[in-house]
Amino acid sequence: MKLLTDISEMLQKGKINDVKALTQQAIDQGLEASVILDSLLDGMGNIGMKFKNNEVFVPEVLIAARAMNGGLQLLAPLLEAEGVEPVGKVVIGTVKGDLHDIGKNLVKMMMVGAGFEVIDLGVDVSPEKFVTAIEENNADIVAMSALLTTTMTNMKAVIEAIEEKGLRDRVKIMIGGAPVTESFAKEIGADRYTPDAASAATTAKELMM
């Protein structure tokens, strides 16, 4: 349907006003909110793939996410009324001692764009704060980011805190960031490492299956 394709395309161009207008038009035409949502998610998914392939960069992703949020705001009450549930709940944050959040923000946007509800704890997040957020939100996934070689070790502390609270079986653990590797994920007992934001969203969906 052209209207839905247009929503996806305008989102990819970061045109927030167009996305909002087209989303409203789709609502007015009586399309189901979940169907309109799919067009937003399709647009964000495409942006994610282009980002992964080095075809677009941080500014384009941020501006697309802004456009997506414009559409999502209009859809939110309708989705709730239709009983559309998010794909899953993700608690995300940059670990203690680390103030870098560009990567974490990109992952958050991609996960929202994949249909997740994301609880963003920000930067410099302590293990206790991660654990509390997992419990309070009944999270399915916890996603941790670190840019520094010295702070990536704090990911292990979060996993230990999760284990101590007896939550390990309830939550999947994902990690990422410039110095983080697959072997580091194995070493500290994380479930998944992903090298970029788009892969993080795809992997999160796989974990929910």
Partner 1 sequence: MTGKERIIEILSHKVTDKIPWVPFAGIHAGALKGYSAKDVLQDGDRLFEALMEVHRLYQPDGMPVVFDLQVEAEILGCELAWSDDTPPSVKSHICATEANIPCRCLLPKETDGRLPMILDTMKRMKKAVGETTALYGLICGPFTLASHLRGNDLFMDMILDEDYVKDLMSFCTEVSLKMIDLYIGSGMDVIAVVDPLVSQISPNHFTELCHESFATVFAYIRSKGVKSSFFVCGNATRQIEVMCKTKPDGISIDENVDIVMAKRITDSYNITIGGNIPLTTLMLHGTQQDNMKYVLDMIDRISHDNLIIAPGCDMPYAVPFENAIGVQQAIRESEQVRSILANYQTVEETIEIDLPDYSSLTKPFIEVFTLDSESCAACTYMMGAVDAIKAYFGDSIDTIEYKYTEKINIARCKKMGVSNLPSIYINGELKWSSIIPSKDEFIQTIKEKLN
> Of the ranges 68-76, 80-88, 149-157, 164-172, which one interacts with partner 1 (CB under 8 A)?
149-157
**Helix, coil or strand: residue 201:** helix
Which two three-digit tokens encode residue 38?
Answer: 């799919």
**DSSP single-letter state for residue 56:** S
Which residue among 27, 31, 148, 207 contacts partner 1 (CB under 8 A)?
148
- Could you tell me the smallest distance in angstroms from the CB atom of residue 98 to partner 1? 8
**Among 67, 73, 86, which residue's Cα sits nearest to residue 27?**
73
Closer residue to partner 1 in complex, CB, 14/115 = 14
Per-residue tokens: 11: 């989102």
Residue 20 CA: distances (Å) to CA of 54, 61, 135, 148: 27, 17, 35, 38
Q: Bridge partners of 141?
A: 90, 172
Residue 193 parent element (H or E): strand 192-193
Q: Which stretch binds partner 1 (CB under 8 A): 22-30, 32-40, 147-155, 159-167?
A: 147-155
**CA 114 to chain centroid:** 7
**Binding of residue 204 to partner 1 (CB under 8 A):** no
x/- mask, partner 1, residues 3-42, rule CB under 8 A, reads -----------x----------------------------
Nearest to 180 by CA among 168, 170, 192, 172: 192
Q: Does 194 bind partner 1 (CB under 8 A)?
A: no
User: Token pair for residue 135?
Assistant: 């419990």
Smallest distance from partner 1 to CB 95, Å: 13
Work out how close the CB of 109 gets to partner 1 at its nearest, in angstroms, rounded to a whole number. 12
Kindly tell me which of 61 and 143 has the beta carbon lying closer to partner 1: 61
178 counts as binding partner 1 under rule CB under 8 A = yes
Distance CA 144, CA 179 (A): 13
Residue 63 interacting with partner 1 (CB under 8 A): yes
Q: Does 97 bind partner 1 (CB under 8 A)?
A: yes
Cα 76 from Cα 98, distance rounded (Å): 33
Which among 31-39, 57-65, 128-136, 154-162 is the span making contact with partner 1, rule CB under 8 A? 57-65
Instruction: List interacting residues with partner 1 (CB under 8 A).
Output: 14, 54, 56-60, 62-63, 66, 97-102, 105, 148-151, 178-179, 181
